[in-house]
Chain A
């Protein structure tokens, strides 16, 4: 096949970002007239294969191997490398999940083939295949092109394509096999766990005031707290605020924090990096206050205020009281 989609197991179902990469493969395939296939793996990937076969791809390859029972970078990178060598696709597509970040660069190194990561779009205009990625925390974009012979490994950012657009079909399932040895796996993994949320449930909040690094220092956090209180809103934050210890991690919104969809999300001094945006772009109304008129947050905001949060926030609190 020409395009191989690598699907990830997410608690027994195909990871949403895998479905999004099916959409990317369907677009690339139809524009360039290329065949598509999807790979599922695990100790027993029968159910995943069944789920994958309901999409419009030419075939599904299922690899069942006891050494793939739980995720390891060693095992997964070796298995994917072997399937790529067997199938010799031109494109290998992934969702840019945390798991893919962890092992796909190893596949790239094993094959000495490029891995174009975290793309937000693809274009085949004039037969030239171009992938688009964000750079500098979403402040600039870049068109990226692979060179040399394929296969080219390509991953897509969360929501670059909508999983709802994955065309359905009925693909045949083929059994694939890989040659793994227990001695290849040099890591031991414990069970995944979640940390105490500390009583902060942002997911059901109607109003959220969220504070970013632009607040400047820990001593300024009360400005946001008072505004939240005046509005009757929950207080949330971007990652650097948690990293710096200004707020506990339960307040973090984003890909490694909570996903929220309040009626109003008021972002104070937040630049709008994708890892933050994935956690709050479902908000009904996004209001952003940022001193930089070019900040990427204004690209997704419904209402924008260019200004200094340290000046605006106290006055806003006062006006609301």
Chain B
């Protein structure tokens, strides 16, 4: 067992657990996005930041990938953590404003505006779908391609995969695909008050614009 303190409370957890698991065990909420029980931690979104250490040595780490250490001092809601978290949400809003998951995160953390150039990406590269496909569905049909600004998710060579099981797992888990607003039918939309400066509902007319690997689609109900 490893002993550490989280927000001043002592806890002892099994060796090999992550700081996130320890905090959840104590009931301290840490928002996560690219983390999912049953999938290997990936540390892509950085939303789960916490502060470890003390004084000038204190630093921010992603709790979903940080293994517990003996005597570690963790703060899950320090001023620095909250600031970093809000910034991450702003950046997520800037790239993927139509995502219900990100909209909800923004509401929950009081992020009302974002100061960056507004984009409308279909993907935040969280890697959940890739891990879902290879670790739970044992298919390995989709993966990351390219790097830097060219990085994207999809099938090799952009042709329909012959190992895809049409299980819909990738769409089910995708935070960017989960839409509350029915922006392809704006007249029927129930506005979620996403507080976007430029509501994406006007920008996109087709759900087909969203990424979808299934042909025919078995998961998508918003057609």
A-B complex is real: no
Residues of A within 8 A of B (CB): none
Interface residues of B (CB under 8 A from A): none
